[in-house]
Amino acid sequence: MPTGRRSSLFTSVSAYRLGHEGHFGGDTGSTLELLEKKRKGVKMVNKVLAAFIGVDIVFAITGAIIVGFSVSKEYEEVNREEESDTANIVAAGIGNGIFTFVAFVTTLPALATNSRSWLKAAVCLIVVDALYTLIVGLQLWILTLRIKETFFGIWKSQLPEVQGLMQEAFNCCGYFNSTTPAFKTDSTCPSPATAALMTGCATPLTRFSNTFVDNIFTALFGIVGVDAVLIVAALCLLKERKEMERYRHIDEKTGARGTF
């Protein structure tokens, strides 16, 4: 028998049984409508599941990117052999990436089975991970707000030769201006009169640094957006699974377990 006719026959038989066994007050039309909703529900679950899997893969990729970038930065810090204010942020980034993988692994049992409990646990972990990523991004954003003051301490600790190299590289004199602190006499700033006409190095230095840091925290905020999309997809999948569980209970009551 063709598949279309067999499915139609199953629908008619199930509708007859549901209507005549009194589950819906004998209203066969309402029963057919319910069965049609069930068939559409199965298709919807498949689409929602496919969307969830796609976003989940992107979610795992973001975790790999965070870990890879953080580890590379940590390697640079180790080779520099100097204490840095960014060490804590790098460690937080590594922890963030690892937690992302933990949340991703939790989604696998939810995909392998129809368990709503695993899916709820995964949603909770993804929410925590999104907040974690958001906090790291906010820390970097706050760092950009006070980066000029942070660099001032670094500038003062450098040798005059290093200050001269930075003046030449950024075509500036002094830090805030040519007198605060006093500029280093070189080819860029040969005299006080010439130095007074030049800008301080604080502005070009912070602009150069902010461009790099801005890209990082913007990327982190984008990752939070991926987390948000994954949370929405998981909630939609939870809703659809709950609906299919309701249909399953109806099938168990009517004895039509193998129909769909």
Strand-pair partners of 182: 179
HSE-up (13 A, CA, CB side) for residue 122: 28
Instruction: Tell whether 15 is covered by a domain.
Output: yes
Instruction: Tell whether 47 is covered by a domain.
Output: yes
Is the separation of the CB atoms in 204 and 147 below 8 Å? no
pLDDT digits (tens, 9 = 90+) for 166-203: 999 999 999 999 888 888 888 889 999 998 999 999 98
| 200 exposure class (CB count in 10 Å sphere: 0-12, 13-18, 19+) | buried
| 63 exposure class (CB count in 10 Å sphere: 0-12, 13-18, 19+) | buried
Report cis status (omega within 30 of 0) of the bond before 2.
Answer: no
Instruction: Tell whether 235 is covered by a domain.
Output: yes
State the total domains in the chain.
1
Instruction: Tell whether 51 is covered by a domain.
Output: yes
Instruction: Tell whether 160 is covered by a domain.
Output: yes
User: What is the residue range of 61's domain?
Assistant: 7-254
Rounded Cα distance between 99 and 168, Å, is: 44
Judged against a pLDDT cut of 70, whether residue 259 lies above it is answered with no
Model confidence at 227, in pLDDT bands (50, 70, 90)? Answer: very high
Instruction: Write down the pTM of the prediction.
Output: 0.70
HSE-up (13 A, CA, CB side) for residue 224: 16
Question: Which tokens is 90 given?
Answer: 């790098």
Model confidence at 120, in pLDDT bands (50, 70, 90)? Answer: very high
Q: Which of 68, 126, 125 is nearest to 97 (CA)?
A: 68
Instruction: Tell whether 1 is covered by a domain.
Output: no
